[in-house]
Amino acid sequence: MATTRAALTDEDIRTLVKGATPDERAFAARKICRRLDAAVLSDEDRRHAQEILRVMAYDAAEMVREALSVTLKSSPLVPHDVAVRLAQDVERICMPILGASPAFTDADLVEIVRIGGPLRQVAVAKRPQVSKAVTRAIVEHGEEDAVEAACANDNAEFAEEALDAAVARFERSERVLAAMAYRNALPLAVTEKLVSLVGDRVRDHLLNRHEISAELSLEIAMGAQERATVDLVDQAARTSDVKAFVSHLRENDRLTASLLLRALAQGHMTFLEWGLAELASVPHHRTWLMIHDAGPLGLKAIYDRAGMPARLYGAFRAGVDTYHSMEFDGGARDRERFQERMLQRFLTQAEIANRDDADYLLDKMDRLSADARTAYQARAQDRSVSA
């Protein structure tokens, strides 16, 4: 136990075991926990260290057990049995270890969610990683606060069925539905259910950040749902099935030159490729070659075959050339900065279809600039807080 002895002193351990007051033992416990957590331990040292932690976990003084839970809340040194014991302790002791310790298994966490009560459920829901099995248990057994916390935690994994169950169970809870809507990623079917349940502000976020079907995109864009708007260009860039999306747009006479031009100006080349392929009745791979790989006449040929207006060819030519001259540079906000530069070049080089298109593209530039300012301010605030 040489390494453990180097990390501790005999006096520390004596104070922990025989200290006259809880304060003395709690102070020794904090000191021991910090030193053990920082030490490099052999397998034998680790076993001895864990025996010391068991002494702390069974101490009659809450202050000692709390020192252990707080100081080693995320340490891999805490053995499973100690973590489980602390999880059953009073709330101020159980909450730190329950919210972060890697010692718990999914089975442990599911059982805690099932019988542990609202505060323990929330602690589990906010953990740095939460598996699908645990989120399923939270949706089935958790109180509203716990389900909201899990939905707000983008490191909590959800099966689509669990999200569906959460929507069904909490369809009247604005807090749960909003937390779900603001997740980084959502299945298409869940997004579409939420669109009909949430308020205007959250609906706008869903439509601007998540994929919805071509049918619902058109329904909303054409005003079938009151006070809701959707940008078909943004949805085209977000959809997982571009071919089906453009086919549906064409069936409803919405696959227009203006829509394709707006998409191109934002760098959504895949949408342009599939759009021209659909209008020209040419396979996508051949359309791709004609746009990107067939010299100056390729784009003109597929453009004419698609029945696009001759007066706008120069705008499309300039947009494709601009796209080819630019690259993602791999930095932060890579896509946003690419789109901003693309819009700037496009607006200065290309003939725009009409005033509405020009206003639309200028509005896109304004939004990108506003988003950039917001992101910059958030980073600056984070740095000032950390300083």
The residue ranking higher by pLDDT, 52 or 18, is 52
Confidence check: pLDDT of 101 > 90: yes
Rounded distance between C-alpha atoms, residue 310 and residue 242, angstroms: 25
How confident is the model at residue 6, as a pLDDT?
A: 46
When pLDDT is averaged across residues 358-382 and rounded to a whole number, the result is 55
Average of per-residue pLDDT values in the chain: 80
Q: Report d(CA 294, CA 273) in Å as an integer.
A: 14
* Phi-psi sector, 104: left (phi>0), alpha (psi -120 to 50), beta: beta
Mean pLDDT for the stretch of residues 62-69: 89
pLDDT digits (tens, 9 = 90+) for 119-145: 999 999 999 999 999 999 999 999 999
DSSP β-bridge partners for residue 130: 156
Q: Which candidate, 129, 127, 192, 186, places its Cα nearest to that of 162?
A: 186
Distance separating alpha carbons of residues 250 and 279, to the nearest angstrom: 8
For residue 226, the model assigns a pLDDT of 41
Give the lowest-confidence range in 79-88, 97-106, 262-271, 354-363. Answer: 354-363
276-285 CB contacts, 8 Å cutoff, 24+ apart: 276/302, 276/303, 276/306, 276/308, 277/246, 278/243, 278/246, 278/247, 278/250, 279/250, 279/255, 279/306, 279/307, 279/308, 280/305, 280/306, 280/307, 284/243
* pLDDT bucket at 376, cuts 50 / 70 / 90: very low
Using DSSP's 3-state secondary structure scheme, residue 150 falls into helix
CA distance 46 to 78: 10
**105-119, 229-243, 288-302, 333-347: which has the minimum mean pLDDT?**
333-347
